[in-house]
């Protein structure tokens, strides 16, 4: 009785499963990636060598654009109402932190008035947001 030996089709490995997995990973990352552009107020942050990242969920954000307009939670706020609005935003938060994002061309007097209003509203910490060069 004669047995047939193991046949070898070729020495080239089958790449089909590898291609399938790479394709599935590509589809997964495309579906889970966020391609939504953050619609906000356009500002150019000042640069600082010592910039560090922070947790934005715990913070109240005040933004000052190049024209000197003040925004709190993406809504424009008159400067005379800023302290009251910051106090309301800080109410109920565990950490009373305020971040200030200001355009490079913002006048220093406006920044100082925002810092002063945040302190009077009860902010424990006021951080100025910058970006690394």
In a domain, 31, yes or no: no
Beta bridge partners of 63: 71, 101
In a domain, 72, yes or no: yes
In a domain, 87, yes or no: yes
Q: What is the pLDDT of residues 10-27, one digit of tens each?
A: 677 888 999 999 999 999
- pTM for the model: 0.57
In a domain, 7, yes or no: no
| 4's tokens | 């047939």
Place of tokens 């500002």: 43
State the sign of the Cα–Cα–Cα–Cα dihedral 42, 54, 123, 127. Answer: negative
> In this structure, what CATH number is given to the domain that contains residue 68?
3.30.420.270
Q: What is the pLDDT of residues 98-113, one digit of tens each?
A: 888 888 888 888 888 9
Instruction: List the domain range (segments joined by +) for residue 101.
Output: 56-128
In a domain, 101, yes or no: yes
In a domain, 79, yes or no: yes
CB contact burial 90-129 (16+ within 10 A = b; e otherwise): beeeeebbbbbbbbeebeeebbebbbebbeebebeebeeb
In a domain, 14, yes or no: no
Contacts of 90 (CB under 8 A, 6+ apart): 60, 96, 98, 121, 122, 123
Our count of domains for the chain comes to 1
- Separation of alpha carbons 72 and 78, rounded Å: 10
Asked whether residue 86 carries a pLDDT value surpassing 80, the answer given is yes
In a domain, 19, yes or no: no
């Amino acid at each position: 009785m004669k047995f047939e030996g193991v046949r070898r089709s070729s020495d080239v490995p089958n790449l089909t499963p590898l291609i399938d997995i790479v394709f599935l990973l590509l589809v997964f990352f495309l579906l889970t990636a966020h391609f939504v552009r953050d619609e906000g107020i356009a500002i150019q942050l000042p640069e600082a060598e010592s910039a560090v990242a922070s947790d934005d969920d715990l913070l109240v954000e005040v933004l000052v654009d190049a024209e000197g307009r003040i925004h709190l939670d993406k809504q424009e706020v008159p400067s005379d109402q800023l302290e009251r609005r910051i106090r309301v935003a800080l109410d109920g938060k565990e950490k009373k932190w305020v971040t200030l994002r200001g355009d490079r061309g913002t006048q220093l007097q406006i920044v100082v008035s925002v810092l002063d209003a945040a302190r009077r509203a009860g902010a424990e910490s006021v951080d100025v947001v910058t970006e690394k060069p």
